[in-house]
Amino acid sequence: MNKPHSVTRQLTITNKLGLHARAATKLVQLAKQFEADIQLTQADNTAPANSVLALMMLESGQGKTVEVSCTGKDADAAMVAISELIENKFDESE
């Protein structure tokens, strides 16, 4: 049996408010579009990208680095989309 495709990348949260409710909601909505298991890890805490509450519990503020892991059929596409969302500061005007 083939091991599912997996990709991992370190990303820095750059928007002023960090991974707050609105940003977490955008991330969850984006993650749900892909056939992939997506996890965010900061320090010793890991959260699934399909849970707003779990993402907010990471307390990822501006300047924090998170490790994003995507596993599954759409892992590469999911990583590209999530990287763009985070790098574009969750489309927030600051």
| Catalytic machinery residues | 20
With contact defined as beta carbons under 8 Å apart, do 58 and 40 qualify?
A: yes
Distance between CA atoms of residues 92 and 73, nearest Å = 29
The DSSP H or E segment spanning 55 is: helix 52-57
